[in-house]
Amino acid sequence: ASPPLSHIILIRHQGELVGLEVDQLIGEQELVIRPLGSKLESPNYVQGASVLADGRLTLVVDGGALLQQVLNRYAPRTTLASPSAAVQPPLQTTATLIPPSNIEEWENDKKILIVEDSITVRQTLTLTLQKAGYRVLQAKDGQEALEQLQQHNDVQLVFCDLEMPRMNGFEFLKQRQQFPALANIPVIVLTSRSGEKHRLLALELGATDYITKPYLEHKLLAMVADLFEI
């Protein structure tokens, strides 16, 4: 039988393309990179951490910096007399993809779920809340939010958009009432809909508060802090 085909990532390094063999190619995703902070020492090729669409955390690696570190490790220690003498054995190295992992130890034990179909808004709000020390999960619509809440019974606050595919925010507010364990979790509606009828309907369906986009970061964080103090 033929050996399985390898997955190769091409990285441009000093004007040349270099191939790194990896175990698996998952896909391409727009990410917001968060610094790891001074509490964690990391190699210079680790740029930071990011949150995936399903709420898991993963390290972000700079492929060029990783490659340079490997090349420096295997570089000859003496200067060779001529280019013809610079014959080196093939460099046997394989880049390892760091699998996403759920990080349990955070500065704050408060967990928040963001329900939003826009990846840009999700990631921006995630970064804001994580910088404030909160743990964050994400869902792209109301249906996924219900699934996340049933899997994570320690979620203490939900931010929810109104206009989403599959299950919108109003439907999510209705559906969660059918689950006693979910009905008492505070839900802040975060939407571009500024009409009074939308606000009143959301509050009637059990929303704790109603915020319109664009929002002021410091006011949003103050609202979150007040809710957790109640």
Same domain, 213 and 116: yes
Per-residue pLDDT reduced to its tens digit, 23-78: 887 776 666 677 776 666 778 888 787 776 666 778 888 877 887 887 777 766 55
Question: Within a domain: residue 66?
Answer: yes
End-of-domain residue from the set 26, 51, 85: 85
Q: Domain with 11 in it: what CATH number?
A: 2.30.30
Closest CA to 212 of 228, 198, 226: 198
Same domain, 117 and 201: yes
Same domain, 67 and 133: no
Question: Within a domain: residue 100?
Answer: no
Same domain, 168 and 217: yes
Q: Which pLDDT belongs to residue 167?
A: 96
Q: Which pLDDT belongs to residue 38?
A: 67
Give the pLDDT band of residue 80 (cuts 50, 70, 90): very low
Q: Which pLDDT belongs to residue 226?
A: 93
Same domain, 132 and 223: yes
Closest CA to 51 of 115, 109, 135: 135
Question: Within a domain: residue 101?
Answer: no
Q: Say whether pLDDT at 105 is over 60.
A: no
Question: Within a domain: residue 26?
Answer: yes
Question: Within a domain: residue 106?
Answer: no
Residue ranges making up the domain that contains 174 = 111-229
Mean pLDDT of the chain: 80
Q: Which pLDDT belongs to residue 22?
A: 81
Alpha helices for the chain (secondary structure H): 63-74, 119-131, 142-151, 169-176, 180-183, 196-204, 217-229
Whole-angstrom distance, CA of residue 107 vs CA of residue 10: 37
Question: Within a domain: residue 99?
Answer: no
Closest CA to 20 of 57, 74, 58, 64: 64
Same domain, 118 and 64: no
Per-residue pLDDT reduced to its tens digit, 123-162: 889 989 998 999 999 999 999 999 999 999 999 999 999 9
Same domain, 119 and 60: no
Q: How many domains does the chain have?
A: 2
Question: Within a domain: residue 37?
Answer: yes
Share of the chain above pLDDT 90, in %: 42
**Two tokens, residue 14:** 């000093």
For residue 40, give every residue at least 6 positions away whose Cβ sits within 8 Å of its Cβ, in sequence order, or none. none
End-of-domain residue from the set 50, 85, 120: 85
Same domain, 115 and 81: no
End-of-domain residue from the set 68, 85, 102: 85
Q: Domain with 158 in it: what CATH number?
A: 3.40.50.2300
Question: Within a domain: residue 11?
Answer: yes
Same domain, 200 and 120: yes
